[in-house]
């Protein structure tokens, strides 16, 4: 049985940074994101009698990525065993292609584990709801829980495996413009950076407290269809995340000088009446949110800083084909 799934990255407007449970990947606070319509990951899972294998972008994946894939497949096999399925003992051949940059702050682990969750669940014969697929994807990478969802998602932090999942949220019309200032893989992974922040950043508790409050404000701004407030909250929360990260010992800094130049350019756009707001994940690339009609003007203003892409809200992870 071959199952193929496709998932897109998502960019958080309210960020996830920090785990309450490292094994179950329960976050310290909820988050909210837009699923993108480009940079998809397409993943094929085929059950096999030989050992698990993982091919990424045409080559055999490294030991770390292969190990994470096998640990994830073990979760799927456990679900299959619980459901009394014969597939529970099968290994899997996983083949994945990323259309976007890998591990450079464009959420390739989100699209990767969302696609793997959907393809593997199908290949092993599990019939899971979107909520349960979101919970499963979360076990691979926290942000992957949000890539199950069409357009905009809120990931409820929850306090257990059952209660930590993403679901859809209506949000104001918007586009995103990404500025890839550096497509190389980052030096400190999100996973390691989160642990370092928890262990050594003196502002960690304040970050947790403010993120709970920020998510409530974001949900209210979305309910009011208030693009301006959504943008303001997004930019402030991104700065707060980078602040708590930079306060680690030894310091971690994901943003580069050119990233700050892009933030300055976005502030200048606002002064010129072009309404845009910026955010950045665990890497130097910056993502700008704006109204859909302004996307071309925003893209033109930042083209000098790096490779620019424009995104609309995209689809949640889904099966492409099964045979
Ligand atoms: C986010 N990031 O909300 C935040 C903002 C990066 C910065 O989710 O350890 O790759 O696999 O759960 O999901 C990156 O974290 O981390 C992330 P794990 P993940 O998008």
Ligand 1 proximity of 15 Cβ (cutoff 6 Å)? yes
Q: In which element (H, E) is residue 267 found?
A: helix 257-271
Q: Whose CA is nearest to atom 12 of ligand 1?
A: 142
pLDDT in tens, 153-167: 999 999 999 999 999
Query: Which atom of ligand 1 lies at the shortest distance from residue 105's CA?
Result: 6
The answer on 140 and 6 residing in a single domain is yes
198-245 residue pLDDT tens: 999 999 999 999 999 999 999 999 999 999 999 999 999 999 999 999
- Dist CA 124 CA 87 (whole Å): 6
Phi-psi label, residue 24: left if phi above 0, alpha if psi -120 to 50, beta otherwise: alpha
Last residue of a domain, one of 141, 171, 201: 171
Instruction: Evaluate whether residue 318 is within a structural domain.
Output: no
Q: Output the pLDDT for position 183.
A: 72
Pair 34, 149 in one domain:
yes
> Among the atoms of ligand 1, which is closest to the Cα of residue 189?
10
Q: Answer yes or no: do 111 and 179 share one domain.
A: no
**Is residue 90 domain-shared with residue 110, that is, in the same domain?**
yes
111 lines ligand 1 (CB under 6 A): no
Q: What is the 3-state secondary structure (H, E, C) of 34-50?
A: EEECCCCEEEEEEEECC
Chosen domain end from 153, 171, 189: 171
Q: Where residue 243 sits, what CATH number does that domain have?
A: 3.30.70.890
Q: Do 34 and 166 share a domain, yes or no?
A: yes
Do residue 166 and residue 185 come from a single domain?
A: no
What's the whole-number average pLDDT of the chain?
A: 95
State the closest ligand 1 atom to the C-alpha of 16, by its place in the atom list counted from 1: 3
Verify whether ligand 1 is closer than 6 Å to residue 6 (CB atom): no
Structural domain boundaries enclosing 244: 175-311
The helix/strand/coil state of 282 is coil
Contact criterion met (CB below 8 Å) for 35 and 149: yes
Claim to verify: residue 125 and residue 36 sit in the same structural domain: yes
Same domain membership, residue 138 and residue 214:
no
Q: Are 154 and 219 in contact (CB under 8 A)?
A: yes
Q: Is residue 323 part of a domain?
A: no
Are 188 and 278 part of one and the same domain? yes
- Residue 1: its pLDDT value, please? 74
Q: Is residue 18 part of a domain?
A: yes
Is the CB of residue 201 less than 8 Å from the CB of residue 247? yes
Alpha carbons 6 and 115: distance in angstroms, whole number: 5
How far apart (Å, rounded) are the C-alpha atoms in residues 51 and 84?
Answer: 22
In a domain, 125, yes or no: yes
Residue nearest to atom 8 of ligand 1 (CA): 143
Domain shared by 152 and 189, yes or no? no
Over the range 95-120, which residues count as b (16 or more CB within 10 Å of their CB) and which as e? bbebebbbbbbbbbbbbbbbbbbbbb
One domain for residues 164 and 237? no
pLDDT digits (tens, 9 = 90+) for 19-71: 999 999 999 999 999 999 999 999 999 999 899 999 999 999 999 889 999 99
CATH number, residue 119: 3.30.230.10
- What is the whole-number distance in angstroms between the Cα of residue 142 and the centre of ligand 1? 6
Specify if 9 maps to a domain.
yes
Total of domains in the chain: 2
When pLDDT is averaged across residues 290-318 and rounded to a whole number, the result is 97
- Residue 198 and residue 95 share a domain: no
Statement: residue 108 has pLDDT above 80: no
Q: Is 191 in the pocket of ligand 1 (CB under 6 A)?
A: yes
């Amino acid at each position: 049985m071959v199952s193929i799934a496709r998932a897109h990255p998502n960019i958080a407007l309210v960020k996830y940074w920090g785990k309450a449970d490292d094994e179950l990947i329960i976050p310290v606070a909820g988050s909210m994101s837009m699923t993108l319509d480009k940079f998809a990951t397409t993943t094929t899972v085929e059950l096999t009698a030989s050992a698990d294998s993982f091919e990424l972008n045409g080559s055999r994946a490294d030991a770390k990525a292969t190990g994470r894939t096998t640990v994830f497949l073990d979760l799927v096999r456990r679900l299959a065993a619980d459901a009394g399925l014969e597939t529970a003992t099968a290994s899997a051949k996983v083949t994945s292609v990323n259309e976007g940059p890998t591990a450079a702050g464009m959420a390739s682990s989100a699209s990767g584990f969302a696609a793997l969750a959907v393809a593997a669940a199908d290949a092993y014969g599990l019939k899971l709801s979107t909520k349960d697929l979101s919970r499963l994807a979360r076990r691979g990478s926290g942000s992957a829980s949000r890539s199950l969802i069409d357009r905009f998602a809120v990931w409820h932090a929850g306090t257990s495996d059952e209660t930590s999942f993403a679901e859809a949220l209506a949000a104001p019309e918007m586009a995103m413009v990404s500025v890839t200032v550096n497509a190389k893989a980052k030096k400190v992974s999100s996973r390691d950076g989160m642990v370092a922040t928890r262990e050594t950043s003196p502002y960690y508790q304040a970050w947790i407290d403010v993120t709970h409050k920020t998510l409530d404000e974001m949900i209210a701004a979305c309910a009011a269809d208030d693009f301006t407030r959504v943008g303001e909250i997004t930019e402030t929360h991104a700065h707060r995340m980078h602040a708590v990260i930079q306060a680690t010992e030894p310091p971690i800094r994901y943003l580069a000088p050119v990233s700050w130049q892009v933030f300055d350019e976005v502030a200048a756009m606002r002064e010129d009446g072009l309404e845009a707001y910026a955010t950045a994940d665990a890497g130097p690339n910056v993502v700008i949110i704006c109204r859909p009609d302004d996307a071309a003007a925003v893209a033109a203003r930042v083209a000098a800083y790096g490779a620019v892409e424009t995104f609309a809200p995209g689809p949640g992870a889904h099966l492409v084909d099964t045979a």
